[in-house]
């Protein structure tokens, strides 16, 4: 545990990737952290680039486009050992682009807009949950869509039950709380020629959260989307959350369906 904590806190000077094919290395490529941030790109509305700090990050996926470019996506994090809740706090969204020969091209550093936990933004809130990514390339090979499932907030649903011991003349109240991460879907569009990235668009607006069934210990339908037309298009499902105490006041009565078509 001590060694793992040390590795997670170490800052490295370079990022290295290798491609293994047919039992041999086709290339081994290394890029400095300084060069990564020099070639950093951000959405226009974001105030500043979320720089890569050279520390260990969560690997979310590796995607290869039709041209052979390699996109490595992940999420930065820190360890919070203060307060009652301890653990990882997931931070910015990262993506590194290399060409088919392993030469570094671009870095995308996107801000995590999830609600922080408390004044100092430690563990225990929305940022205690990692994001999920999916990349879709347009059929013409000109655009790449970065789909992010981001936990924006945590829904807390508490119920209390009181039992009475008539012999002892005492009452005991037990409160049980269920904490549910509220995911929102966001899309950013990357122009593969220029490398520019659009501002991220939220599915259905700020009051709709992706419908993820967490019943039956997470064994239910836990994917907030399904494919249609032979997998060429994706439909996302979100439900309205009003923020009330219970029932329709809490979640509302409407669902939102959104179709994503990478050709448009």
Element containing residue 36 per DSSP (H, E):
helix 33-38
Beta bridge partners of 139: none
Q: Is residue 234 part of a domain?
A: no
Which tens digits make up the pLDDT trace of 60-83?
999 999 999 999 999 998 887 665
Q: Is residue 149 part of a domain?
A: yes
Percentage above 90 pLDDT, the chain: 39
Q: What is the mean pLDDT of residues 160-185?
A: 85
Q: What is the number of structural domains in the chain?
A: 1
pTM above 0.85, yes or no: no
Q: Is residue 96 part of a domain?
A: yes
More confident residue, 13 or 128: 13
Spatial contact of 71 and 143, defined as CB atoms under 8 Å apart? no
Tell me which residue range forms the domain holding 152.
Answer: 2-202
61 token code pair: 């996926």
Q: Is residue 61 part of a domain?
A: yes
- Distance between CA 192 and CA 197 in Å, rounded? 9
159 alpha carbon, distance to own chain's centre: 30
Q: Is residue 160 part of a domain?
A: yes
């Amino acid at each position: 545990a001590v060694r793992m904590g040390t590795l997670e806190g170490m800052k490295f000077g370079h990022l290295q990737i290798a491609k293994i094919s047919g039992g041999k290395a086709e290339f081994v490529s290394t890029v400095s952290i300084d060069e990564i941030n020099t070639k950093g790109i951000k959405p226009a509305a974001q105030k500043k680039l979320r720089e890569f700090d050279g520390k260990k990050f969560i690997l979310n996926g590796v995607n290869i486009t039709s041209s052979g470019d390699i996109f490595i996506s992940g999420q930065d994090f820190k360890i919070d050992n203060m307060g009652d809740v301890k653990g990882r706090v997931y931070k910015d969204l990262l993506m590194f682009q290399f060409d088919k020969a392993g030469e570094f091209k671009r870095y995308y550093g996107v801000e995590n807009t999830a609600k922080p936990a408390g004044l100092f933004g430690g563990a225990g809130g929305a940022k205690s949950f990692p994001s999920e990514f999916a990349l879709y390339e347009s059929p013409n090979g000109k655009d790449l869509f970065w789909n992010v499932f981001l936990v924006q907030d945590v829904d807390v649903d508490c119920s209390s039950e009181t039992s009475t011991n008539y012999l002892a003349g005492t009452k005991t109240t037990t409160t049980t709380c269920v904490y549910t991460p509220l995911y929102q879907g966001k899309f950013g569009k990357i122009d593969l020629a220029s490398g520019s990235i659009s501002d991220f668009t939220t599915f259905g607006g700020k009051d709709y959260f992706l419908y993820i069934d967490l019943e039956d210990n997470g064994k239910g339908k836990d994917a907030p989307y399904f494919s249609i037309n032979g997998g060429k298009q994706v439909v996302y499902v979100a439900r309205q959350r009003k923020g009330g105490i219970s029932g329709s006041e809490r979640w509302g009565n409407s669902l939102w369906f959104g179709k994503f078509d990478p050709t448009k």
